[in-house]
Amino acid sequence: TPIDFSALRLQLSSGSEKVQQQLIQQLATLGEPGLEVLMEFLLQRRDRLPTWIDGKIYQILYHSKFSPARELLQTHFPAGIVTLRSQSNIDYSSLQQLLIEGDFQAADRVTLQKLCELAGATAVQRKWLYFTEVERFPILDLQTVDTLWSVYSEGKFGFSVQRGLWLTLGKNWEKLWAKIGWKNGNTWTRYPDGFTWSLDAPIGHLPLSNQLRGNRAIAALFSHPAWGKREQ
Ligand code: UYC
């Protein structure tokens, strides 16, 4: 029996996120008519804030061999699906590009690099962050970096995901390290080969922040006003 693409199109627009995720994966395997449904759906959602549903479709179309799909991305979203807003004129396009390509390891390094740029020239030279610099980060830039990680990771990665787990775990660092795969028993996960550079990683695994100099920088990140006023 032929596949009913208009039924799939309808289910995609009206389904829950879970249903949408399954339909997107299915449509990706159904050749050009499937990709056309995904293209139309992505365009329909253009005026909304992007979620990882948009990021998933973007990645599928980007990696497809279907030139109308790639042309659509080039025309409507030449730099990616996330608008790269910065209060400090930082260019996050290399981060977006690496995340679209699914190169999470390089994206992780660029994330630290960009946050150092955001902190200023001394941090760029130092290559790590003081918590006092993190406290002064503009809200907009942290939200941009967080949205990028979330949108291109099916909502698994990003600071706000890590922070949410940290709050759920009563701000207990040891429990957080275990939960996100940064520590196994008493053993710290070794950089870089101990970490999982794919969506197979635990939720909140990426981006990394080195704890060699203590947890004050990551504590400042999680306490930043960028994440709203939900907690004290
Ligand atoms: N590393 O263990 N890490 C490095 C992590 C620690 C250490 C880089 C994360 C514990 C040293 C990144 C964890 C520790 C270096 C991370 C982790 C330690 C290094 C490269 C789990 C020893 C060499 C970029 C919390 C017990 C560089 C960067 C240096 C590098 C990440 C050791 C991304 C998430 C406490 C010796 N580790 N790191 O930031 O600076 O340097 O000497 O967290």
Ligand 1 pocket test target in 157, 208, 210 with most atoms within 8 Å of CB: 210
Averaged pLDDT for residues 80-96: 98
Q: What is the pLDDT of residues 35-50, one digit of tens each?
A: 999 999 999 999 999 9
Residue 21 in this model has a pLDDT that exceeds 80? yes
Report the nearest-CA residue for atom 27 of ligand 1.
212
Averaged pLDDT for residues 14-24: 96
Question: On the CB side of 115, how many CA atoms lie within 13 Å of its CA?
Answer: 29
Q: Which residues contact 9 (CB under 8 A, 6 or more apart)?
A: 37, 40, 41
User: To the nearest whole number, what is the mean pLDDT of the chain?
Assistant: 96
Number of helices and strands in the chain (H, E)? 13, 2
Tokens representing 22 are 């399954």
| Whole-prediction pTM | 0.96
Comparison of pLDDT for 202 and 228, the residue scoring more: 202
Question: Which among 205, 178, 21, 33 has a CA at the least distance from the CA of 107?
Answer: 205
CA distance 172 to 174: 6
Tokens representing 130 are 């003081």
User: What single-letter DSSP state applies at residue 211?
Assistant: -
| Ligand 1 pocket check for 182: Cβ under 6 Å | yes
Query: What is the pLDDT at residue 232?
Result: 36
Q: What is the pLDDT of residues 131-183, one digit of tens each?
A: 999 999 999 999 999 999 999 999 999 999 999 999 999 999 999 999 999 99
**How far apart, in Å, are the Cα atoms of 191 and each of 23, 76, 84?**
36, 38, 29
Percent with pLDDT over 90 in the chain: 97
Ligand 1 centroid distance, CA of 204 (Å):
17
Report the nearest-CA residue for atom 43 of ligand 1.
211
Query: What is the pLDDT at residue 229?
Result: 58
